[in-house]
Amino acid sequence: MYDVVIIGAGPAGSSAAIFTSKAGKKTLVIDSDQSVTRRAWLDNHYGAPGISGPDLVETGKRQAIKFGAEYVQAKATKVVAGEGSLTVETENGSYEAGHVIVATGMFADFAEASGIRTKPGTEPRIKTIVDATSEGRTSLANVWAAGTIAGVSMHTIITAGDGAKVAINLISELNGTRYVDHDVLKS
């Protein structure tokens, strides 16, 4: 069983995966390769002057894999709560998880099929979002939401930041104490 299964490998999903895998949480990312970020050119992503969306997405994936995150390319269809765990169903197989992070961008069908409470979007061109708390919790226990699908502004620095925020809240819950992930520059 995975500690965390993340649906979506855009800035929100992979940013979350970097934190959860680096915190030693067994992490799986399921992605259907439909990220709109792949069509972006980014001149406003703090710290990364002039980078293509595909390069940002691939770099984020490599960072998470470096810390042990696993990636599978598949379409996740829904999450079902069971005795003490969650089952994420995909078009080709299912996965057990303690927690799930929904980071599906503009796509709300996974959340709707899972019976997760949604509401109309408030950002331009975003029809439906998950009704998530400021921490990232959804109406389904142990299921969280991050990025565009959680209603934040649709910009990579913000969706990546939201993925990190939600991951730190989840890790803190698993560890039972507030989590901090700081590395020190070796002198």
Ligand X SMILES: Cc1cc2nc3c(=O)[nH]c(=O)nc-3n(C[C@H](O)[C@H](O)[C@H](O)COP(=O)(O)OP(=O)(O)OC[C@H]3O[C@@H](n4cnc5c(N)ncnc54)[C@H](O)[C@@H]3O)c2cc1C
Residues of this chain that bind ligand X (CB under 6 A): 7-13, 30-37, 39-40, 42, 44-45, 53, 75-76, 103-105, 107, 110, 147-148, 154-157, 159
How far CA 126 is from CA of 13, 56, 151, in Å, comes to: 18, 22, 8
In the complex, residue closest to ligand X by CB? 10
Are β-strands 93-102 and 143-145 bridged in parallel, bridged antiparallel, or unpaired? Answer: parallel
Q: Using the minimum distance from each CB to ligand X, give the nearer residue, 73 or 175.
A: 73
Q: Which two tokens stand for residue 44?
A: 């406003």
What is the C-alpha to C-alpha distance for residues 63 and 104, in angstroms, rounded to an integer? 19
CA neighbor of 149 nearest in space, from 51, 13, 55, 14: 13
Supply the minimum distance, in Å, between the C-beta of residue 170 and ligand X: 16
Q: Using the minimum distance from each CB to ligand X, give the nearer residue, 36 or 81.
A: 36
Supply the minimum distance, in Å, between the C-beta of residue 134 and ligand X: 17
- For residue 112, the 8-state DSSP code is H
10 Å Cβ neighbour count for 131?
A: 17
Supply the minimum distance, in Å, between the C-beta of residue 121 and ligand X: 12
Residue pair 117/99 in contact by the 8 Å Cβ criterion: no
Q: Using the minimum distance from each CB to ligand X, give the nearer residue, 58 or 173.
A: 58
Q: Using the minimum distance from each CB to ligand X, give the nearer residue, 36 or 174.
A: 36
Q: Using the minimum distance from each CB to ligand X, give the nearer residue, 53 or 136.
A: 53
Supply the minimum distance, in Å, between the C-beta of residue 75 and ligand X: 5
Q: Which two tokens stand for residue 43?
A: 């001149």
Supply the minimum distance, in Å, between the C-beta of residue 15 and ligand X: 8
